[in-house]
Structure formats: C-alpha cells, structure tokens
C-alpha cells in the first residue's frame, strides 16, 4: 500500500515537484491511505502535463526581485550582481532572518529604477507592500496551458493577494467567457432559429434542411481549422465586426 504522503517523502528534495503534486491532486486522493488505480492515474497525468510544459520551453524570461540583477560601479568599471545571491550549487539564498531581509530591502531600494517595476511602496508609510513577477513568453504554442498553470500556482497561495494581468491572461479569460456563453446560448439560438424557419416555411423539411446546412458548414470549418492548424481565436471577432 502506497499513500500520497509516502510519495511526497520520496521527493522531499524536490520541493517544486512536491508543490506541483499538491496543487493538482485532490484532497480526497491526498488523504487516502492507499492511492488506488484512480490516484495513480491522476498523478501520472499531472506529471505528464508538467513534463510537457517544461519541454515546450514556453517561458523566455522571468524578472522578479529574486531573479533581477543590479549594476554597481567601481574604478570606472560597471558590474552586475544578483539581488539574491546564489550558493555553490546555483540555488538562490532566500533571506530568512531579520538582518538578511533588511539587507535585501536595502539592495532593492538602492536602485530607484526598481520602484514601481519590481516593487510598490506605500506613499504614507514608505514600506514595500507589493512585489512584481514579470513573465515573458517565448512563443504562442501552448500558451493557454501555461496561463492556466500560472493561475493555478497563484491560486494555491491563499494567504497572499496575487493579481494577474497581461495580454495572455486577458485573452485566456476572454476565451473562457466565450466558451461559457457558447454553452449557454447555443441551445437558445438553435431554438430561435428553428422557430424562425418554421414560421417562414411552415414545414418540418423547412426546419431540418437549413439547420443541417448550418451544422455541416460549422463541421467543415472546424475540420479545416484542425487540418490546416490555423485556429480561429474569438478575441479578434468583435474587432472585425466593428
């Protein structure tokens, strides 16, 4: 019998992998004494999805207070140094003690270009209230999946108030709203169209034939989109109509 906690203990030296499993695996599976076939299948799916996103190399650059570099000058020579230093293994030394946090704050405030870019300050108290993480995508392939993954990561920290913005996020949200509207409005639209056809032609054939024509045209359009690999995003449609 193998439980979820045993898997977590086996990968204790891979905290990012453990966090991914805890995000994607439901509480029912995590609390079960034995994973069972369903739990094993869900873990396998989560790992495959994570590996697929890693191999795609969608993210080009991540700029944050932990990854940014600053510039210093001495003897007419400019040098860059990381705001958060790394150890011999290449792992960032995250400040934990009060002294380390104060030193990190001092390094961060030393460069005024970081203000309103990497962090925000309360104008009344002068304290740092927010940090920024800027993510740049390398391409458009599998971008919606990565946006969903970022939203899932942000939502896993209940104790933090995380706000996501940017064109990929807005486009993904718009697509979701369009999908929900299609599910809700399509049956109603079909009923209205069928009623209009019936009132005009006064026969069952006059309703079925036009609806079949519309359905075949939509199937052909979707088939061509898949065959040619050219999706038709819903975002530009309102702009084209305008």
**What is the pLDDT, as a whole number, of residue 4?**
85
- Greater confidence (241 vs 166) lies with 166
* pLDDT tens string 204-229: 888 888 888 888 888 888 788 778 87
pLDDT surpassing 80 at residue 2? no
* pLDDT tens string 172-209: 888 888 888 878 887 888 888 888 888 888 888 888 88
- 1 — pLDDT class (breaks 50, 70, 90): low
Q: How far apart are CA 165 and CA 167, in angstroms?
A: 7
Burial of 21 (0-12, 13-18, 19+ CB in 10 A): buried
- 239 — pLDDT class (breaks 50, 70, 90): very low
Q: What global pTM score does this model have?
A: 0.70
- Greater confidence (91 vs 237) lies with 91
- Greater confidence (236 vs 43) lies with 43
Residue ranges of the domains in the chain? 4-56, 65-132, 184-241
**What is the pLDDT, as a whole number, of residue 54?**
84
Q: For the residues 109-134, what does the mean pLDDT come to?
A: 90
Whether 49 contacts 67, CB under 8 Å: no
> Phi/psi zone of residue 36: left (φ > 0), alpha (ψ -120 to 50 degrees), beta?
left
**What is the pLDDT, as a whole number, of residue 238?**
47
* pLDDT tens string 159-176: 889 999 888 898 888 888
pLDDT surpassing 70 at residue 133? yes
Around Cβ 122, how many Cβ atoms within 10 Å?
Answer: 10
Q: How far apart are CA 4 and CA 34, in angstroms?
A: 8
């Amino acid at each position: 019998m193998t439980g979820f906690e045993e898997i977590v203990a086996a990968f204790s030296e891979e905290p990012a992998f453990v966090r991914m499993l805890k995000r994607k695996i439901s509480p029912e599976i995590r609390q079960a004494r034995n994973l069972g076939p369903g739990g094993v299948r869900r873990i396998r799916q989560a790992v495959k999805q994570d590996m697929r996103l890693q191999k795609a190399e969608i993210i080009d650059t991540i700029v944050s207070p932990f990854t940014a570099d600053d510039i210093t000058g001495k003897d007419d020579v400019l040098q860059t140094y990381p705001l958060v230093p790394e150890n011999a293994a290449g792992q960032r030394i995250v400040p934990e003690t009060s002294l380390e946090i104060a030193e990190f704050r001092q390094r961060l405030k030393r460069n005024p270009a970081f203000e309103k870019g990497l962090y925000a300050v309360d104008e009344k108290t002068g304290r740092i209230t927010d940090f920024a993480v800027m993510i740049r995508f390398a391409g458009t392939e599998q971008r919606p999946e990565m946006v969903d993954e970022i939203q899932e990561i942000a939502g896993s920290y209940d104790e933090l108030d995380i706000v996501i913005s940017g064109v990929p996020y807005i486009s993904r949200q718009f697509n979701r709203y369009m999908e929900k509207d299609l599910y809700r409005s399509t049956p109603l639209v079909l009923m209205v169209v069928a009623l209009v056809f019936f009132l005009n032609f006064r026969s069952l054939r006059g309703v079925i034939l036009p609806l079949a024509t519309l359905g075949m045209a939509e199937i052909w359009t979707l088939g061509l989109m898949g065959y040619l690999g050219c999706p038709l995003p819903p975002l530009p449609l309102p702009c084209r109509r305008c």
